[in-house]
């Protein structure tokens, strides 16, 4: 008797938690986006739709592993803000969806049927001039390859970080040929101090541990706006203006809410907040943050995301080999 009461109690606890999970009005979002975007955008969405958002935040690699492990019984609805190539790489985990507002996207932002762009990421240098020991501020990818900056440049690992992979692909596209790009990148890599966390790159430059970092424009901007001793430098040969992606997870338990979430993130309202947070909006009718260099003045390499996705396995292998030689 006593045992059956316990069993019933246990079963009802399970049932309650199960019914909560199945209740209407929630959407579970897996995301690698910096916290400031969550704080600014999620309450807006909740207020507008009445849907409550459950955020699971982790590095994009961890999220991908989670999705793979959960593939048989998906727990998440949306993957929000990762490098688009990782979605193209795992098409089985996602479901194609064209978010409302796709027609308003700026040129070059819609790159795949599998995912929608959320923001446009611009790759820049963050420089702490006082730690350069009088050396000139590097203003181009080629300058970063100069041996005088040996052990002075912070970068994430291209095999592990989506942004570092975009940086590699940008350098390979910025010169006359891929070989010429590799030549420059090899010099850069031998100057790099590699970090396992891309969030640490601007941090260490701001703290004076290293003089130069290769990072995201908005991450650098947060340190500049915070009053850190750093400046943003745009590479002279051109840089990537690349979309980061959000997608509907295949078999999402709250698919409709997930679609509403994706629609909202492409809305003019949400994109205006994106601009305030220092990322470049992806809609043609929303302007950039005035604290940043106007997009027209940023020299773009015309980043070819499709090439970067198609060649990813090969380039990462080559990168891994090169690390063994020069690091």
Strand, coil or helix: what is 280? strand
Find tokens 């420059």 and name the residue.
184
- Does 157 engage in binding with another protein (CB under 8 A)? yes
Contact 218, 37 (CB under 8 A): no
Distance, CA of 53 to CA of 115 (rounded, Å): 20
> Looking at the chain, how many residues does it have?
327
Minimum distance, C-beta of residue 323 to another protein, in the bound complex (Å): 8
Would you tell me how many other CB atoms lie within 10 Å of the CB of residue 161? 23
Map the footprint of another protein across residues 225-254, applying CB under 8 A.
Answer: 225-228
Strand 192-195 versus strand 153-156 pairing type: parallel
Stretch that binds another protein, among 234-242, 267-275, 284-292, 310-318 (CB under 8 A): 310-318
Map the footprint of another protein across residues 56-75, applying CB under 8 A.
Answer: 56-62, 64-70, 72-73, 75
- Applying CB under 8 A, among 108, 207, 253, 311 the residue interacting with another protein is 207
- Applying CB under 8 A, among 7, 8, 25, 208 the residue interacting with another protein is 208
Nearer Cβ to another protein (122/221):
221
Minimum distance, C-beta of residue 102 to another protein, in the bound complex (Å): 24
Would you tell me how many other CB atoms lie within 10 Å of the CB of residue 114? 19
- Residue closest to 244 by CA, chosen among 313, 181, 198, 294: 198
Find tokens 């994109």 and name the residue.
271
Contact footprint for another protein (CB under 8 A) = 14, 17-18, 28, 34-36, 54-62, 64-70, 72-73, 75, 82-83, 86, 89-90, 93, 131, 157, 159-162, 165, 193-194, 196-197, 199-204, 206-210, 219, 222-223, 225-228, 312-313, 316, 320, 324, 327
């Amino acid at each position: 008797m006593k045992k059956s009461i316990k069993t019933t109690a246990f079963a009802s606890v399970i049932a309650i938690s199960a019914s909560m999970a199945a209740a209407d009005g929630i959407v579970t979002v897996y995301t690698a986006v910096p916290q400031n975007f969550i704080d600014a955008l999620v309450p807006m969405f909740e207020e507008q739709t009445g849907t409550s958002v459950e955020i699971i935040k982790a590095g994009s690699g961890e999220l991908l592993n989670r999705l793979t492990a959960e593939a048989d019984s998906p727990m998440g609805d949306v993957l929000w803000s990762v490098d688009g190539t990782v979605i193209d790489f795992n098409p089985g985990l996602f479901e194609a969806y064209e978010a409302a507002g796709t027609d308003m996207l700026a040129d070059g932002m819609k790159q795949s049927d599998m995912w929608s762009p959320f923001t446009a990421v611009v790759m820049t240098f963050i420089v702490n001039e006082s730690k350069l020991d009088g050396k000139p501020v590097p203003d181009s990818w080629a300058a970063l390859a100069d041996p005088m900056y040996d052990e002075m440049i912070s970068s994430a690992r291209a095999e592990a970080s989506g942004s570092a992979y975009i940086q590699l692909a940008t350098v390979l596209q910025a010169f006359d040929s891929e070989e010429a790009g590799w030549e420059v990148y090899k010099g850069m890599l031998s100057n790099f101090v590699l970090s396992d966390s891309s969030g640490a790159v601007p941090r260490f430059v701001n703290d004076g541990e290293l003089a130069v970092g290769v990072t995201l424009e908005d991450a650098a901007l947060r340190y500049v706006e915070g009053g850190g001793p750093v400046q943003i430098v745009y590479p002279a040969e051109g840089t990537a203006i690349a979309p980061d992606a959000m997608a509907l997870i295949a078999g999402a338990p709250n698919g409709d809410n997930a679609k509403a979430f994706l629609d909202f993130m492409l809305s003019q309202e949400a994109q205006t907040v994106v601009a305030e947070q220092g990322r470049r909006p992806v809609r043609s009718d929303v302007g950039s943050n005035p604290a940043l260099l106007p997009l027209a003045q940023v020299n773009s390499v015309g980043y070819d995301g499709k090439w970067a996705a198609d060649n990813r396995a090969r380039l990462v292998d080559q990168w891994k080999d090169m690390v063994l030689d020069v690091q």
